[in-house]
Structure 1
Amino acid sequence: METQQSKSPSTLLVVLAFATVYIVWGSTYFFIQKALTGFPPFILGTFRFITAGLLMMAWCIIKGEKVFHVKYIKPALVTGLLLLFVGNGVVIWVEQFLPSAMVAIMVSSSPLWFVLLDKPRWKENLQNTSTIIGLVVGFAGVVLLFSERIMSSFSSLNSSRDLFAMGLVLLGSMAWAGGSLYSKYNAGQNSATVNSTWQMLAAGVAFFPGSILSGEFDNFSIGQIPGDSWFAIIYLIIFGSIVGFSAYVWLLKVQPATKVSTYAYVNPVVAVILGVFFASESISKLQILGLIIILGSVLLINLRQYRKSHKSLRATQA
Structure 2
Amino acid sequence: MKLKEISAFLCIYIIWGTTFLGISYALKGFPPFILLGLRFTTAGVLLLSWLMYKGERPVHLDTWKQNSISGVLILTMGIGSLTYAEQYISSTEAAIVAALEPFWFMLIDKKSWKYYFANKISVLGIIIGFAGLLIFFKDSLAVQAGMDHGRTVGFMVMVFGTIVWVLGAFHSKKPTKASLLMNVSQQLFIGGVISLAIASMKGEWQIINWGAIPLASWSALVYLIFFGSILAHLSFIWLLSIKPPAMVSTHTFINPIVAVLAGTLIAGEALTGGQAIGITVIVVGVALNNLMQFRVVPEGN
Q: TM-score, normalised to structure 2's length?
A: 0.91
Matched, 1:217 2:208: no
Per-residue CA deviations over 1:137-176 (Å, capped at 9, x if unaligned) read: 11221332343222133x43213x4323322211110000
How many percent identity over aligned positions? 35
Report how far residue 298 of structure 1 moved.
1.6
Does the residue aligned with 2:88 lie in a helix, a strand or coil?
coil
Hey, what's the Cα distance between the residues in 1 that align with 2:9 and 2:109?
A: 20
In angstroms, what is the RMSD of aligned CA positions?
2.2
Determine whether 1:48 maps to 2:39.
yes
Preserved CA contact (<8 Å) 1:141 1:291: yes
How far off its partner does 1:66 sit?
4.2
Whether the 8 Å contact between 2:140 and 2:275 is mirrored in structure 1 is no
Matches for 1:59-208 after TM superposition, within 5 Å: 59-153=50-144, 155-159=145-149, 161-184=150-173, 186-188=174-176, 190-208=178-196
How much has 1:34 moved relative to structure 2? 0.6
Shift of 1:42: 1.2
**Retained in 2: the 8 A contact 1:76–1:187?**
no
Which residue identity does 2:19 align to in structure 1?
T
| Kept in 2: contact 1:49–1:200 (CA 8 A) | yes
2 CA distance for matches of 1:66 and 1:106?
38
Specify whether residues 152 and 62 from structure 1 end up closer, same or farther in structure 2 by C-alpha distance, changes over 3 A only: same
Change (3 A) 1:225 1:280: closer
User: Does 1:255 find its partner at 2:246?
Assistant: no
> What is the aligned counterpart of 1:232 among 220, 226, 229?
220
Mapped contact 2:85–2:153 kept (Cα < 8 A) = no
Structure-1 separation of matches of 2:264 and 2:84 = 26
Closer, same or farther: CA 96–308 of 1 in aligned 2, 3 Å: closer
Of stretches 103-112 and 123-132 in structure 1, the one that deviates more from structure 2 is 123-132
Instruction: Give the aligned partner of residue 35 of structure 1.
Output: 26
Q: Distance in 2 between matches of 1:152 and 1:279?
A: 17
Q: Which one-letter code corresponds to 2:85 in the other structure?
A: V
- Letter matched to residue 2 of structure 2: T
**One-letter amino acid matched to 1:28:** T
Asked if the contact 1:46–1:204 (Cα under 8 Å) also holds between the matched residues in 2, the reply is yes
1:276 matches 2:267: no
> Among residues 269, 278, 281, which one is paired with 1:293 in the alignment?
281
Equivalent pair of 1:72/1:187 in contact (CA under 8 Å)? no
CA contact (8 A) 2:16 2:228 kept: yes
1:64-92 per-residue CA deviation (whole Å, 9 max, x = no partner) reads 33433233222211111100011110111
Q: Which residue of structure 2 lines up, in the alignment, with residue 266 of structure 1? A: 254
Amino acid at match of 2:157: L
In 1, the alpha carbon distance for the partners of 2:14 and 2:104 equals 22
Which residue of structure 2 lines up, in the alignment, with residue 24 of structure 1?
15
1:264-306 per-residue CA deviation (whole Å, 9 max, x = no partner) reads: 0100111122233334444444333322222221222222344
Q: Which structure 2 segments of 5+ residues have no match?
A: none
Counterpart of 1:307 (choices 275, 295, 298) is 295
Contact 2:116 2:293 in 1 (8 A): no
